[in-house]
Amino acid sequence: MTRAFLIGIAFLFNMTGVNSQIKPAEEAFNQAILDLSQNKIEKASIALHELYQRDSTNMNLAYLLGQSYTRLDTNLNYAIYLLEKAADKYSPNYKKRSFHERNVSEYVYYYLLMAYSLNGNCSQTIGTLNKFYSIYSFSNEFYLVEGQRYHRECHKREIPIDSAELIVYQKEEQEHWVSTKSITYTNKQPTYGVQIGATLAPKYTWEFTGVKNVEVYIDENGVYRYIIGKFVHPLVAERLLEVVKEAGYPDAFVVNVKDKTKFGEKVVNMDYKPIDDELVGKVFFTVQVGAFKSETIPDDLAYLFVELDSINEIVDENWTYLTIGDFDNVTEARFYLELVKDVGVKDAFVTAFNYNRKVDLRQAEAYLEEQQRLIQEKKEKEEKRKRSGKKRR
């Protein structure tokens, strides 16, 4: 009895000690959060550093410490290390002022972008900016504009490369041509849709796999936004949101499509093709050995007809394409390409067609993958139906 009593007293004493340690730590955390909000960043960084030293497994402390160093423009390499480490623990349900929170805010990517820019790591900024756009709740447009500015101004601090170690290569940045039309509404009643993504560079709607009926808008800051649906009742949009998340877009959210600052301009075409360009019917891969845009064939292409077997001519508007082979997947086409190059046609390459229309390779791959998925689903449903039929007998 005496022994049990002593153990109980010891347990209570230990718990009192633990609680006495937690309380100062929580008070220090709360004060650091307050200091960050009041721009007393240096003071906050000292407290956060001490807290992180005590618990380096708490990614929220890593995020807040990395944020403070970034805002102070100091210890940037360490700040990047902390923010990269913390980014894996991003949670949309982040509790901003909770001492017990161990996940991190969506702003981890904003401060990581800022740290990359200030540190001159310019190759990292665009990917981080796009990641921030893809998950951001768009609660404050300031961070979108500032994010773009940090990306654009990174070159001012870009890390110089030793010319002796420089590997020279050229890659042109692709600028997309887009056409838009202004959207006007006759009434101000909100209309609700589901935003599935946002990017700095435009995307075709086919690039969003597993969903249909995607519309593209460009906002006042040059951000492309992708939405599905337009409903008067918000509950309908909320139900669609559940379906969209199930389809593979966990960061989607409901928006008011009539917000002209975000959805005032609808994108119609990109690079002289409809933004919602779709493939229907036969799609195949082939090896292109030449092309010409005239009534007479150039001499070098004419000689191919006496050097190569099974050349096909595909006419697409004003162009005549010379191709070899008809393949259901790009892997087979690439294998055949090597054979064609071995016989001397060094500038041959793999391309794709939808009947006689030349299409983007990525679009063709995505389309055929989707067709295979639908065929497999149909097959599985048929097998399930047959099994259930046998059980009933």
pLDDT, tens digit (0-9, with 9 covering 90-100), for 237-246: 999 999 999 9
- Which residues are CB-contacts of 212 (< 8 A; sequence separation ≥ 6)? 228
Residue spans in the chain of domains classed CATH 1.25.40.10:
14-157
Helix (H) or strand (E) holding 289: strand 283-292
Model pTM score: 0.54
CATH 1.25.40.10 fits 14-157, yes or no: yes
pLDDT band at 82 (very low <50, low <70, confident <90, very high): very high
* pLDDT the model gives residue 164: 43
Number of neighbouring beta carbons within 10 Å of residue 209:
12
Confidence class of residue 149 from pLDDT cuts 50, 70 and 90? confident
For range 124-135, the mean pLDDT: 87
Reported as a pLDDT band with limits 50, 70 and 90, residue 8 is low
- The rounded distance, in Å, linking the Cα atoms of 67 and 73 is 10
CA nearest neighbour of 196 among 130, 134, 152, 264:
134
* CA-closest candidate to residue 258, choices 180, 181, 183: 183
Residue range 190-205: mean pLDDT, rounded? 90
Half-sphere exposure of 333 (CA within 13 A, CB side): 24
Which residue is it, tokens 């838009």? Answer: 180
Whether the CB-CB separation of 264 and 177 falls below 8 Å is answered with no
Determine the straight-line distance between the first and last CA of the chain, rounded to whole angstroms. 69
What is the predicted pLDDT for the residue at 393? 58
Which of 118-127, 129-138, 382-391 comes out lowest in average pLDDT? Answer: 382-391
Determine the angle formed by the axes of helices 59-72 and 2-37, rounding to 10 degrees: 30
Residue ranges, CATH 3.30.70.1070, the chain: 283-365
pLDDT tens profile 265-299: 999 998 888 898 888 889 999 999 988 887 788 88
Please give the pLDDT value at position 174. Answer: 47
Q: For 19-78, how does the pLDDT look when each residue is reduced to its tens digit (9 = 90+)?
A: 445 578 899 999 998 888 888 899 999 999 999 999 989 999 999 999 999 999 999 999
Percent of the chain with pLDDT over 70: 88
CB atoms within 10 A of CB 55: 12
Q: Which CATH architecture has domain 283-365?
A: 2-Layer Sandwich (3.30)
- pLDDT at residue 153, rounded to an integer: 87
| Other beta carbons less than 10 A from residue 84's beta carbon | 17
> If pLDDT is split at 50, 70 and 90, which confidence band does 384 have?
confident
| 44 in Cβ contact with 36 (< 8 Å) | yes
Query: Which stretch of DSSP H or E encloses residue 59?
Result: helix 59-72
Question: Do 251 and 92 form a contact (C-beta atoms < 8 A)?
Answer: yes
Q: What is the pLDDT of residue 370?
A: 82
